Amino acid sequence: MAWAASFHGGDELRACRKAAGWTQKELAARSGFTAQTVKYHERRKGRLDGVAPSHFRDAFEAAGVMLPEPPRTFRPRHGDLIAVFYSMPVCKPHLPRLRCEARTRKGTPCRALALPGKQRCKFHGGMSTGPNSDAGKERIRQALKQRQGALDKG
């Protein structure tokens, strides 16, 4: 193996196989895998790493098939690093998340973290967007009227 066994994608593996004049079954037999494995790797997007691609590469090299050159690795210089640093977005300050503190059925305070920017966790209304149906909206209106009336009397 000349270099790290990776292909840039399934398309490159397919092109190498066709350049060799092999079917998927032939490549599978020469590399010691099944045709299904070859099909899987030919469908994949992005860099192919692992055991199977290294065996595919060995099979191609043993048959004398010319493989594409490995990509050059990018090594940034000091000036490039400074440019990257100053182009990075400014992070928001980290705010501590509070505990939910809602009362559970046992009567103890909830220990889950409240959702960011909210007072409650997802289990105790932090994810709630309010009632959606007309009946639910009317029920909330009535509850608020009762609560307001109780506050005015008290």
List pLDDT tens digits, range 82-138: 555 555 555 555 567 788 888 888 989 999 888 887 888 888 887 777 788 899 889
Q: Which residue segments constitute the domains of the chain, with CATH numbers given?
A: 10-63 (1.10.260.40), 97-126 (no CATH)
Q: What is the 3-state secondary structure (H, E, C) of the chain?
A: CCCCCCECCHHHHHHHHHHHCCCHHHHHHHHCCCHHHHHHHHHCCCCECCHHHHHHHHHHHHHCCCCCCCCCCCCCCHHHHHHHHHHCCCCCCCCCCCECCCECCCCCECCCECCCCCCCCCCCCCCCCCCCCHHHHHHHHHHHHHHHHHHHHC
User: pTM of the predicted model, to two decimals?
Assistant: 0.43
